[in-house]
Amino acid sequence: MYKRVAILTALVMTVAACSPGPGAGGTSGTGSSPGTSPGTDGSPATSPGGDASPGATPTMVVVEGVSTPESIQQEGTLTCGVKFDVVGFGFRNPTNSEIEGFDADICREIAAELGVEAELIEAVSANRIPFLNERRVDLVISTFTINDERREQIDFSRPYYIAGQSILAKTDNTEINSVEDLNGKNVCSATGSTSETNVREQAPEANLVLFATYTEAGQALDDGRCDAVSTDDVILFGLIDAYPDTELKGEPFTTEEYGIGMKKDSAELKAFVDDVLAEMDEDGRFMELWNENIGDYTDKEPVLPPES
């Protein structure tokens, strides 16, 4: 019997040795990002928000033409892709099915400026660029991190939020105030996230406890198995929502800029959107929406970041 095993093992070994190298096939997302936790019935579901997934998804369909302020006004609707499961930015309220959040509200403001209705549809991370290319949406306001790779495929507005990896700990924990303080402590995060890598780099003596989802990490913080949870502050907002006796500690130690995504060569629309954002900042609407949606979770200044 064991002869068979040996033969088969040898076969498997040869196959494995000849297997293609690094991540053949664009990242499907499940391999290198933590699983999304269930978003049914009122759970404060958290999903990887401003992700920095390596490799953009190859787009299949590209529809001709771009949206412009006129075309949108003619249609009568501004369609935006937003997240439905990120507390504070794009979140579907289970009790009334309303989409709440900073991103959602910005879409509504832009629509109001155009004098049209706002339509919000769900854009999960993998769909953001395809939806733009298919012209299924006019704008993507979905905790969308600006980076060079994406710039090659789509256009971005000026940044409207600076996210960063932060630390969440119990409010009465006075020992943790910066990333260095994480050394020697139990830090929870999710397997396969850039967050995990960043902590290892900046606090090599930290004891990383890795779960499949951030919801579990939050649970472990709550019952004392972890001293802190570290990931993008945007995701941490959702955890603060679920566990009110926690707060963000110290400054973010990485930075990522969120921008509004548009189809490539949308110069007119970009100019319009950038103007609206600047106006909102000047007349206080920006600050108002900020405070309403994420003011409780963060001490950051409610101002529009400078153009990059």
Closer Cβ to other proteins, 28 or 255, answer by number? 28
Helix (H, G, I), strand (E, B) or coil at 163: strand
Ramachandran class of 104: left when φ > 0, alpha when ψ lies in -120 to 50, beta otherwise: alpha
CB of 100 to other proteins, least distance (A): 17
Strands 256-258 and 161-163 come out as antiparallel
Closer Cβ to other proteins, 43 or 68, answer by number? 43
Closer Cβ to other proteins, 190 or 277, answer by number? 190
CB of 81 to other proteins, least distance (A): 21
**What's the token pair of residue 10?**
């040898």
CB of 83 to other proteins, least distance (A): 17
CB of 64 to other proteins, least distance (A): 28
Closer Cβ to other proteins, 68 or 191, answer by number? 191
Q: Under 8 Å CB-to-CB from 57, ≥6 apart: which residues?
A: 26, 126, 129, 130
Strands 186-190 and 154-156 come out as unpaired
Closest alpha carbon to 220 in 182, 267, 187: 187
Closer Cβ to other proteins, 8 or 63, answer by number? 8
CB of 302 to other proteins, least distance (A): 29
Whole-number Å distance between alpha carbons of 227 and 230 = 10
Whole-number Å distance between alpha carbons of 233 and 299 = 11
Q: Under 8 Å CB-to-CB from 111, ≥6 apart: which residues?
A: 77, 78, 117, 118
* Site residues (vs other proteins, CB under 8 A): 1-9, 12-13, 16-17, 19-25, 27-28, 30-32, 35-44, 54, 186, 188, 191-193, 196-197, 209-212, 215-216, 219-220, 222-226, 242
CB of 57 to other proteins, least distance (A): 12
Closest alpha carbon to 104 in 128, 127, 87: 87
CB of 123 to other proteins, least distance (A): 19
Closer Cβ to other proteins, 234 or 239, answer by number? 239
99-100: strand order across its sheet: 85-86, 90-92, 99-100
Closer Cβ to other proteins, 16 or 61, answer by number? 16
